[in-house]
């Protein structure tokens, strides 16, 4: 875990998500701020993005919006960790290549499918509150 943001608690949150909740023992997560122009597409305001780092199994890059409250930071990291699980799990086998995503063997043209209609996003939104509740149990014990 390498955190290149001012979100000091991001390290703790990521360690809990990876080790205690997802129970992964081998994962590397790099956290940076997203570029200021990232939210310019007008479709939605992005809070975070996760990408698998090609050619390095179990290495992921999370880009975070610079203006997150502590609650939104936790929620965003939970959401992005669901995407990491989708990358890692052969059932979901999430892969993103520019404007194309492959999820559960189906090809999704990202420019043609609204963000909230993408099945991998729908799954992440459905499950992020459950993960957030688990995270809060560890943070506030």
The string of pLDDT tens digits covering residues 7-43 is: 989 999 999 999 999 999 899 999 999 987 666 555 6
Least confident span in 37-41, 64-68, 86-90, 118-122: 37-41
Query: What is the residue range of 134's domain?
Result: 2-139
Q: Please, what is the average pLDDT of the chain?
A: 93
Q: What is the pLDDT of residue 57?
A: 84
Name the pLDDT band for 53 (thresholds 50, 70, 90): very high
Q: Please give the tally of structural domains in the chain.
A: 1
On whether the CB atoms of residues 105 and 91 are closer than 8 A, the answer is: no
Radius of gyration of the chain (CA): 15
Phi-psi region of 115 (alpha: psi -120 to 50; beta: other; left: phi over 0): alpha
Q: What is the pLDDT of residue 35?
A: 84
Q: In what order do the strands lie in the sheet with 2-3?
A: 2-3, 28-33, 59-64, 48-52
């Amino acid at each position: 875990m390498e955190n290149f943001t001012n979100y000091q608690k991001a390290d703790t949150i990521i360690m809990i998500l990876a080790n205690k909740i997802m129970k992964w023992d081998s994962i590397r997560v790099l956290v940076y701020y997203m570029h200021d122009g990232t939210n310019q597409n007008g479709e939605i305001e992005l809070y975070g993005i996760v990408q698998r780092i090609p050619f390095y199994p179990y290495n992921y890059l999370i880009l975070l919006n610079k203006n997150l409250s502590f609650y939104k930071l936790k929620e965003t990291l939970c959401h992005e960790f669901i995407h990491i699980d989708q990358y890692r799990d052969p059932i979901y086998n999430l892969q993103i290549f520019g404007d194309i995503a492959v999820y559960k063997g189906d090809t999704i043209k990202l420019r043609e499918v609204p963000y909230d209609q993408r099945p991998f996003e729908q799954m992440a939104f459905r499950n992020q509150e459950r993960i957030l509740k688990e995270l809060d149990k560890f943070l506030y014990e």
